[in-house]
């Protein structure tokens, strides 16, 4: 059974609501195992066992969270060649801007040579019902690609 790894940093109630929506969206896809790991505890073994990954982070001062950066630093060399072409998606939440955080993530996944299978989800402010539905759709879209 294919496995979707969700690597997230979820420090706020807004991101907690988005993570819950991601879980719900992935659950809609039968025959996909969901593995959810906080970015500070996810590592190479988690990534190597996954058939795809969904990354979630707040936008902190125009950058991805330090926790997600730590995940990338931890997995980069051990997984560099073994994860080429790995399907991925990403969601970013910020109070007013997510562009810098998305650019920083895109640089890393480009270097890892992963394959983006869904458009990035940019969220600002308190997530509205439509935002949570978009998070469900993102997770389902990535899961279907596995």
Confidence at 23, pLDDT banded by 50, 70, 90: very high
Q: Which of 81, 87, 79 is nearest to 146 (CA)?
A: 87
In eight-state DSSP terms, residue 51 is: S
Whether this prediction's pTM lies above 0.95 is answered by yes
Contacts of 93 (CB under 8 A, 6+ apart): 12, 14, 15, 18, 56, 57, 58, 59, 123, 124, 127
Which pLDDT score is estimated for 85? 98
Answer yes or no: is pLDDT of 119 > 90: yes
Domain count, the chain: 1
Average pLDDT, the chain: 97
Look up the CATH number of the domain holding residue 42. Answer: 3.40.50.360
67, HSE (Cβ side, Cα atoms, 13 Å): 17
What's the N-to-C CA distance of the chain in angstroms? 9
Which pLDDT score is estimated for 38? 98
Give the domain extent around 68. 3-144
């Amino acid at each position: 059974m294919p496995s979707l790894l969700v690597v997230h940093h979820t420090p706020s109630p807004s991101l907690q609501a988005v993570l819950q929506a991601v879980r719900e969206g992935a659950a809609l896809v039968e025959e996909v195992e969901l593995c959810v790991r906080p970015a500070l505890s996810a590592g190479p073994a988690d990534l190597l066992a996954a058939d795809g990954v969904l990354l979630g982070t707040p936008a902190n001062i125009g950058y991805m969270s330090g926790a997600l950066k730590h995940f990338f630093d931890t997995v980069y060399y051990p997984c560099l060649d073994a994860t080429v072409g790995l399907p991925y998606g990403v969601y970013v939440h910020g109070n007013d801007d997510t562009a810098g955080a998305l650019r920083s993530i895109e640089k890393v996944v480009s270097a890892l040579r992963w394959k983006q299978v869904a458009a990035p989800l940019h969220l600002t402010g308190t997530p509205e019902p439509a935002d949570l539905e978009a998070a469900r759709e993102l997770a389902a879209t990535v899961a279907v690609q596995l």
